[in-house]
């Protein structure tokens, strides 16, 4: 079978282009060309990293982990998306804005911490309930999981706010450099005629 290349950098005849995008957006990141290898790695890693962050959140009260550690791990998954595809890819992967996540996390943690005071209990008092679930058997639910979920949202919101702030400046600088190069090319093209 002979495969003849049609030119420098083009695939051989008979090769097909991918039928779908690896990431959600088609917009290239402002700070450089897209890397197919990085996009594939991000697409394969992000779901696993997010599942691991939820595991850390749920098992954190009895073992190492919790809302803070789980939030940091989840944040790193979103930072990977940002590195691979820029702010458009990050926005496509996040259903809520970082400030909304911060507000929801603070509200959830604050309500969970203060709710026992209304019943005559102490601040941050833990309430437990047991349930018999069909597949899992007997499961204990505790109010600290709700508090830790709030911490999780606060950490994710804070890290994404920092990434968005730092990344916006980098993207603006890169866009200014691109505009400068376009102006120089236009001047050189106009002067050559």
pLDDT in tens, 111-121: 999 999 998 88
Q: What is the dihedral angle through the alpha carbons of 73, 76, 77, 80, rounded to the nearest 10 degrees? A: -160
How much is the pTM? 0.74
- pLDDT tens for 55-97 read 999 888 777 788 999 999 999 999 998 888 777 778 787 878 9
- Residues 127-149 have a mean pLDDT of 88
Q: How many angstroms separate the CA atoms of 27 and 180, rounded?
A: 20
**How far is it, in rounded angstroms, from Cα 158 to Cα 88?**
18
Rounded percentage of the chain residues whose pLDDT exceeds 90: 34
Cα Rg, the chain, nearest whole Å: 24
- pLDDT (0 to 100) of residue 157: 95
Residue 133 has pLDDT above 50, yes or no: yes
Residue 44 CB: number of other CB atoms within 10 A? 10
Residues 6+ away with beta carbon under 8 Å from 70: 53, 54, 55, 56, 57, 60, 148, 152, 155
The residue assigned the tokens 């599942």 is 51
Helix/strand/coil percentages in the chain, nearest 5: 65, 5, 30
Q: Residue 57: CB partners within 8 Å, gap ≥ 6?
A: 65, 66, 67, 70, 71, 145, 148, 149, 152
Q: What are phi and psi of 85, to 5 degrees?
A: -135, 5
90-116 pLDDT, tens digit per residue, is 878 787 899 999 999 999 999 999 999
pLDDT per residue as tens digits for the range 10-56 = 555 655 555 556 566 666 665 666 677 888 888 899 999 999 999 99
Mean pLDDT of 142-161: 93
Residue 8 pLDDT > 90:
no
Q: What's the pLDDT band for 189 if we cut at 50, 70, 90?
A: confident
Task: Tell me which of 5 and 48 has the higher pLDDT.
Answer: 48
Q: How far is CA 176 from the centre of its chain?
A: 26
């Amino acid at each position: 079978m002979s495969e003849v290349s049609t030119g420098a950098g083009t695939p051989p005849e008979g090769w097909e282009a991918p039928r779908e995008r690896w990431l959600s957006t088609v917009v290239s990141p402002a700070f450089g060309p897209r890397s197919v290898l990085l996009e594939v790695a991000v697409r394969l890693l992000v779901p696993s990293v997010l599942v691991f962050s939820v595991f850390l959140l749920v098992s954190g009260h009895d073992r190492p982990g919790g809302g803070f550690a789980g939030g940091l791990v989840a944040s790193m998954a979103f930072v990977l998306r940002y590195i691979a595809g820029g702010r458009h890819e990050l926005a496509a992967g996040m259903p809520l804005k970082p400030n909304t996540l911060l507000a929801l996390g603070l509200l959830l943690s604050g309500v969970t911490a203060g709710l026992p005071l209304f019943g005559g209990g102490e601040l941050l008092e833990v309430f437990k309930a047991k349930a018999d679930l069909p597949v899992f058997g007997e499961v204990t639910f505790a109010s600290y999981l709700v508090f830790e979920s709030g911490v999780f949202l606060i950490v994710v919101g804070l890290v994404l706010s920092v990434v968005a702030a730092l990344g916006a400046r980098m993207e603006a600088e890169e866009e200014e450099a691109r505009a400068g190069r376009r102006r120089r090319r236009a001047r050189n093209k106009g002067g050559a005629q």
